[in-house]
Structure 1
Amino acid sequence: QCIGALAAAATLYFILNGQDNFLGIDNTQAGAFASNGYGAFSPSGYSMSAAFVAEFILTMFFLLVILGATDKFANGKFAGIAIGLALTLIHLISIPITNTSVNPARSTSQAIFTGGEPLMQLWLFWAAPILGAIAAGIIYKKVLQNHENE
């Protein structure tokens, strides 16, 4: 995922450089090159703790939707719709907070091209989604998963 995300970011950077008035990536602005951030680098100035909680909770819910929609007892024909709508809702909620991560590979590629403070804040966009995913796995297995017909 990290290699694919870097390739996509490099492609976007190459395309943007083809524009006459492209000024490069300004790593002093919140959300530069769609990078994730908190504090001054949050699109709406959210704190580090708010960013962490948002990324943790939204990743956890996203993984719960994925696990539920792809469970062997679920109707898999509609999994893509459930997952896609959940991701849309997550973006609508979190773009103003952190510019939406819920995927460390996506955050890494943007931070590498932006550099500066977004790269220094990258730890949060690895830690919160990973911990949120772990929490989702535990909650799904212990509370939500149907064990009756196994």
Structure 2
Amino acid sequence: MKKYIAEMIGTMVLVLIGCGSAVFAGAAQPFASIGTLGVAFAFGLSVVAMVYTIGKISGCHINPAITLGMLIAKKISAKDAGMYMIFQVVGAIIGSAILYVLAKDSGSTTTLTGANGYTNLLPAFVAETVFTFIFLLVVFGSTSKGAPNNFAGIAIGLTLVMIHIVCIPITGTSVNPARSIGPAIFQGGEALSQLWLFIVAPFLGAAIAALTWKSIDTAEPEA
């Protein structure tokens, strides 16, 4: 249960800080705008912080796509994977609820929860699939046997920053189904109708990454 609670807290922090930066200080805000680069760093830094906070407890997935990738790579049991995903979504909902309360009367000119969305289906699907694939490859590589694991959190966080810089203009960047589910619930409308893409595409990208990593990993299989 400690692992599951850690995943819930970590995902809550990711959504609250990352999406909160978009709501209160994103490019559309007339005051204190941090722009796309600032929002990208908010997401990346929240991951870095959580890796070094809860990593020793749960591995700090805080993302159902990462959990699915680890399940396919046989690095987590099916039971734990299912519970991780449930608690990640619960954490995202809690973070979104807090953000909604903070934003609903704040005069924010963007969405109240930083929900994802897209204008063109194909570019959005391709972007979410490909960038999740890249993200998961970095997760696998930086945490693999023989890698300098003490720096894994930094590599993973900076990769998320890199992905956000490119993907924010396309979808707002998800690469994380829980991060999309929580905000969409409170945003409603189009955010809910488009939510399927932010579940299917990241899961697809994660599955491809897991299979790819298994084929290129140079670590000797355990006896």
TM-score over 0.5 for the pair? yes
Cα distance, 1:77 vs. partner? 1.1
1:130-141 to 2 correspondence within 5 Å? 130-141=203-214
Equivalent position of 2:150 in the other structure: 77
Q: Structure 1 pair 135/114, CA: closer, same or farther in 2 (3 Å)?
A: same
Equivalent position of 1:59 in the other structure: 132
1:74-113 to 2 correspondence within 5 Å? 74-113=147-186
1-structure distance, mates of 2:194, 2:138: 27
Cα distance, 1:65 vs. partner? 0.1
1-structure distance, mates of 2:123, 2:142: 28
Q: Structure 1 pair 124/149, CA: closer, same or farther in 2 (3 Å)?
A: closer
2-structure distance, mates of 1:104, 1:122: 9
Aligned residues between the structures = 135
**In the alignment, structure 1 residue 48 sits paired with structure 2 residue 121:** yes
Amino acid at match of 2:116: N
TM-score of the two chains, using structure 2 as the length reference: 0.57
2-structure distance, mates of 1:64, 1:77: 17
Equivalent position of 2:92 in the other structure: 5
Does the 8 A contact of 2:104 with 2:112 survive in 1?
A: no
Equivalent position of 2:218 in the other structure: 146
Q: Structure 1 pair 32/15, CA: closer, same or farther in 2 (3 Å)?
A: closer
Amino acid at match of 2:95: A
Q: Structure 1 pair 14/55, CA: closer, same or farther in 2 (3 Å)?
A: same
TM-score of the two chains, using structure 1 as the length reference: 0.83
Equivalent position of 1:33 in the other structure: 113
1:122 partner SS: coil
Q: Which runs of 5+ in 2 are unaligned?
A: 1-87
Q: Could you say which structure has the greater relative contact order, defined with CA pairs below 8 angstroms and 6 or more residues apart?
A: 1
1-structure distance, mates of 2:199, 2:221: 36
Q: Which runs of 5+ in 1 are unaligned?
A: 24-28, 40-46
Cα distance, 1:136 vs. partner? 0.3
Equivalent position of 1:120 in the other structure: 193
1:2 partner SS: helix
Cα distance, 1:147 vs. partner? 3.5
Equivalent position of 2:65 in the other structure: none
Cα distance, 1:117 vs. partner? 1.2
Give the structure with higher Rg (CA): 1
